């Protein structure tokens, strides 16, 4: 069926411009009238009745993947004789078009693109999806330097779509000039095949032709691929060793996608401005996938995934889109040159050593520092369903929660500190570029990895095993620490996507909320012992003599306070009082400040956490805690 500009589909998608056509279908730019955004719409030609299933398979495989370097799938529509997949619209030329228009890229440029696509493949492989057609044509590069992997059209889910039956090849998939040797030999398409194809793609980006040479017929390329006849790179520079590793003839000798990311990143670190943009997009993606960290497993939600569908697919090429648009995008990319040497970029000094970013490893402005920017759920998806939770606990905290079925299996917590503790005899300190990592032992199912920043601040990481089988908690903590250190060695702590709301406790200073007059309610406390914590979001007052009396005030978040003690009303606000809540001779009061809908669409409570510790009975300490909480609430309420 012929499509026309202005045609409206599924009561929301208005076709605007054809972008390309291939053997299995065509692609249009369209406008989503419901969400007011541009989208790409891919139609299947239904002359072959299996095309619908193939397109659905592509949608299913790609929709499982949520990553800033993967073109997102928004919708799948079957309507009469219309079958289409709705995708993120990326106004960007392909890597193939860039090389064709401009010529080979520098190693820095190719490496920056390769880092991102390797990260995308790591996410894809964690979901057991092999792309199967990583080529320059299927990598889009925006003018800001962000690269995106597209067209999972011949991708396969490992558990549902075999490509080899043990005796014969079902078919050779992929573009011959980037074909992995094992695939050309009729062996199965595996994760390592994507790694080879990425290496071959980057080889072509810097050398200007396939690793099998140039000007060959498709049959000759397949023959050379089957024999693993790969030409030595000549222009790769610092990418030479990574490319040789990625294009190893033996799949078992290649790094996995995460390893490829590290190799490429070490050789050609991602520019700071590209990192910032990816962090912004990753934060938005992770927010949509957030799973709340709750006190009881049965209260947690299970993620919903797409079913796995079978069906093979042959690759199909798209014709070029609007020449004027592509030319403009290319011009923008070359003018912006996000890989060029500039302050904070990823260039190298005269000796060839990686140049440290100007603010590498520094905290920066504390209230805008984003703990979630140092974590990645992708790192842990090989152990289960992993999701970032940015809305639980202290205001400077972020979690990655790993679940298996309905059970919580692991938790990785990251928060900040402004007064690092001195390493003790039970820890080991190692240097990791601009930062130091303090490694503690495993204890009671938990393990700490603390990162000391050059400006005196600290990143605190704890790995916790909640249910076996899981890796040792130190493995979880180390993975998180390595990821965070890698980011910190290329720039400062990432920034939050936006400021805190005007009515958030984050706008206040905890130490300002109790003065000497208020603290008279607890005579053992010396007001001059005031000790603020990170961003002034917590404060401690103690006794200047015995040291056994203490008041601790913290700004905190939770999804339910009903199990935090007996309900009371303090200063006109709901509160919960818990005698002995933190052990003998303590009392904890949790006072509701505000409620809001978090990034998972659930209600979260921002609250005051006030603890008193002393020699008195729990009941008397609770009287003091309630009086102090009332004073804090009233002070906050003052105009």
Residue 26 is predicted with a pLDDT of: 84
Residue 283 is predicted with a pLDDT of: 67
Residue 320 binned pLDDT confidence (cut-offs 50, 70, 90): very low
Residue 91 binned pLDDT confidence (cut-offs 50, 70, 90): confident
Which of 118-127, 354-363, 496-505, 577-586 is the most confident on average? 577-586
Residue 321 is predicted with a pLDDT of: 39
Low-confidence winner among 284-293, 355-364, 535-544, 613-622 (lowest mean pLDDT): 284-293
Domains of the chain, earliest start first: 8-88 (3.30.200.20), 96-148+176-270 (1.10.510.10), 370-488 (3.40.1000), 505-637 (3.40.1000)
Backbone angles phi, psi at 531, to 5 degrees: -135, 105
Residue 329 is predicted with a pLDDT of: 43
Residue 177 has pLDDT above 70, yes or no: yes
Q: Which residues pair with 77 in a beta bridge?
A: 84
Backbone angles phi, psi at 397, to 5 degrees: -115, 150
Residue 60 binned pLDDT confidence (cut-offs 50, 70, 90): confident
Residue 309 binned pLDDT confidence (cut-offs 50, 70, 90): very low
Kindly report, residue by residue over 380-402, the tens digit of the pLDDT. 888 888 888 999 999 999 999 99
Average pLDDT over residues 512-524: 96
Residue 296 binned pLDDT confidence (cut-offs 50, 70, 90): very low
**CA-to-CA distance for 225 and 196, rounded, in angstroms?**
11
**CA-to-CA distance for 177 and 274, rounded, in angstroms?**
29
Residue 311 has pLDDT above 80, yes or no: no
Residue 61 has pLDDT above 60, yes or no: yes
Instruction: Go through 422-440 and write b for each residue having 16 or more CB atoms within 10 A of its CB, e for each that does not.
Output: eeeeebeeeebebbbbbbb
Residue 123 is predicted with a pLDDT of: 87
Residue 612 is predicted with a pLDDT of: 98
**CA-to-CA distance for 485 and 492, rounded, in angstroms?**
10
Residue 339 has pLDDT above 70, yes or no: no
Residue 108 is predicted with a pLDDT of: 93
Residue 545 is predicted with a pLDDT of: 63
Given a contact cutoff of 8 angstroms between Cβ atoms, the answer to whether 534 and 371 are in contact is no
Q: What percent of the chain has pLDDT over 70?
A: 81
Record the pTM.
Answer: 0.51
The whole-chain average pLDDT of the chain stands at 82
Residue 477 is predicted with a pLDDT of: 95
Average pLDDT over residues 234-257: 92
Residue 47 has pLDDT above 50, yes or no: yes
What lies within 8 Å, CB to CB, of 567 at 6+ separation is: 574, 575, 576
Q: What's 494-506 look like in SS3?
A: CECCCCCCCCCHH
Average pLDDT over residues 160-175: 41
Kindly report, residue by residue over 430-480, the tens digit of the pLDDT. 999 899 999 999 888 899 999 999 999 999 999 999 988 888 999 999 999
Average pLDDT over residues 399-427: 87
Residue 267 binned pLDDT confidence (cut-offs 50, 70, 90): confident
Residue 42 has pLDDT above 50, yes or no: yes
């Amino acid at each position: 069926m012929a499509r026309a500009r202005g045609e409206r589909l599924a009561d929301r998608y208005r076709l605007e411009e054809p972008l390309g056509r291939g053997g299995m279908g065509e692609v249009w730019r369209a406008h989503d009238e419901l969400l007011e955004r541009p989208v790409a719409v891919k139609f299947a030609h239904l002359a072959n009745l299996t095309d619908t299933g193939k397109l659905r398979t592509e949608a299913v495989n790609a929709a499982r993947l949520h990553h800033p370097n993967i073109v997102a799938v928004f919708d799948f529509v079957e309507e009469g004789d219309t079958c289409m997949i709705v995708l993120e619209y990326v106004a960007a030329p392909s890597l193939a078009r860039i090389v064709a228009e401009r010529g080979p890229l520098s190693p820095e440029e190719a490496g920056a693109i390769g880092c991102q696509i390797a990260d995308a493949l790591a996410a894809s492989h964690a979901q057991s999806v092999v792309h199967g057609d990583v080529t320059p044509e299927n990598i889009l590069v925006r003018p800001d330097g962000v690269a995106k992997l597209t067209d999972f059209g011949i991708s396969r889910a490992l558990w549902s779509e075999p490509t080899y039956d043990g005796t014969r090849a079902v078919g050779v998939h992929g573009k011959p000039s980037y074909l992995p040797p094992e695939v050309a030999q009729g062996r199965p398409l595996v994760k390592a095949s994507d790694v080879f194809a990425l290496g071959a793609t980057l080889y072509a980006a810097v050398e200007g032709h396939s690793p099998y040479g140039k000007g060959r017929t498709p049959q000759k390329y397949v023959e050379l691929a089957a024999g693993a006849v790969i030409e030595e790179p000549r222009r790769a520079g610092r990418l030479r060793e990574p490319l040789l590793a990625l294009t190893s003839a033996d799949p078992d000798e290649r790094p996995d996608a995460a390893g490829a990311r590290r190799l490429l990143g070490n050789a050609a670190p991602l520019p700071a401005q590209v990192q910032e943009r990816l962090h912004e997009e990753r934060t938005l993606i992770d927010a949509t996938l957030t799973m709340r960290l709750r006190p009881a497993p049965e209260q947690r939600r299970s993620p919903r995934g797409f079913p796995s569908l079978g069906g093979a697919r042959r690759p199909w090429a798209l014709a070029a889109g609007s020449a004027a648009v592509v030319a403009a995008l290319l011009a923008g990319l070359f003018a912006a040159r996000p890989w060029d040497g500039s302050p904070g970029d990823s260039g190298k000094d005269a000796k060839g050593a990686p140049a440290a970013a100007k603010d590498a490893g520094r905290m920066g402005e504390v209230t805008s520092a984003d703990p979630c920017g140092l974590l990645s759920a992708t790192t842990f998806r090989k152990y289960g369903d992993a999701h970032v939770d940015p809305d639980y606990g202290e205001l400077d905290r972020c979690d990655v929660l790993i679940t298996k079925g309905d059970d919580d299996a692991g938790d990785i917590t990251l928060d900040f500190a402004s007064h690092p503790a001195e390493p003790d005899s039970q820890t080991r300190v190692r240097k990791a570029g601009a930062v130091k990592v303090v490694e503690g032992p495993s204890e009671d199912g938990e393990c700490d990895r603390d990162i000391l920043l050059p400006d005196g601040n600290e990143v605190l990481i704890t790995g916790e095993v909640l249910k076996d089988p899981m890796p040792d908690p130190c493995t979880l903590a180390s993975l998180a620490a390595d990821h965070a250190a890698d980011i910190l060695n290329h720039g400062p702590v990432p920034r939050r996507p936006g400021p805190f709301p005007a009515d958030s406790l984050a706008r206040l200073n905890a130490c300002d909320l109790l003065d000497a007059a208020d603290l008279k309610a607890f005579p053992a406390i010396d007001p001059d012992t005031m000790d603020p914590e990170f961003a002034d979001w917590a404060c401690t007052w103690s006794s200047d003599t015995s040291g056994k009396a203490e008041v601790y005030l913290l700004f905190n978040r939770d999804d339910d306070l009903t199990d935090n003690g007996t309900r009371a009303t303090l200063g006109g606000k709901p509160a919960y009082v818990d005698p002995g809540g933190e052990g003998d001779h303590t009392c904890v009061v949790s006072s509701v400040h505000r409620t809001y809908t978090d990034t998972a669409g659930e209600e979260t409570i921002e609250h005051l956490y006030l603890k008193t510790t002393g020699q008195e009975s729990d009941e008397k300490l609770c009287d003091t805690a309630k009086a102090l909480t009332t004073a804090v609430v009233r002070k906050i309420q003052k105009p």
